[in-house]
Structure 1
């Protein structure tokens, strides 16, 4: 039996997505490798539908594997800068 999953990586104004058919019991690592998106150097981690995962996480039919990129700025520090600029920390 096979399962169908999506592997996606996103940037501010674009994304790349691959849909794969894998064997039952496939893992995040296998899906990422087979998707061949070629952005491994940019990946800081993985998630399945927004929930943190690792390469050994087993996938289920319909899952979406998200390749997470490193944060551009520390959220706490960005909030402090906005507060210091006088907008109360709001965007």
Structure 2
């Protein structure tokens, strides 16, 4: 019999967050676990070729083999470049102070 491990899949939208626990066979990789979780049926916008993945906030490739109790995080694409967002905040702060 194949040993199984428990992992979690996390995905968040601004208005909703999902955390799924699942049992997968030892040796399962990130991509296999995502498919096994069914989260792509729940969130069809997830694209394994476009989204990035992490395990506890550390970027990993979808071929990374999982360890017991890993939490796979599926990251959404950025909507604004972080440098541009900072510039906008500074500009808005200066305008509001005048």
Per the shorter chain, which TM-score range? Answer: 0.7 to 0.9
Point out 4+ residue stretches in structure 1 off by more than 3 angstroms: none
Please state how far the C-alpha of 1:86 moved relative to its aligned partner. 3.1
Rg larger in 1 or in 2? Answer: 2
Rounded Cα–Cα distance in structure 2 between residues aligned with 1:54 and 1:41: 19
What TM-score results when the alignment is normalised by the length of structure 1?
A: 0.85
Query: What are the ranges of 5 or more consecutive residues in structure 1 without an aligned counterpart?
Result: none
Larger helix percent:
2
Give RMSD over aligned pairs: 1.5
Deviations 1:20-69 (A, max 9, x none): 11111110001100111123533521111100011100100000001110
What TM-score results when the alignment is normalised by the length of structure 2?
A: 0.80
Count residues with an aligned counterpart.
87
Candidates 68, 74, 88, aligned match of 1:61: 68
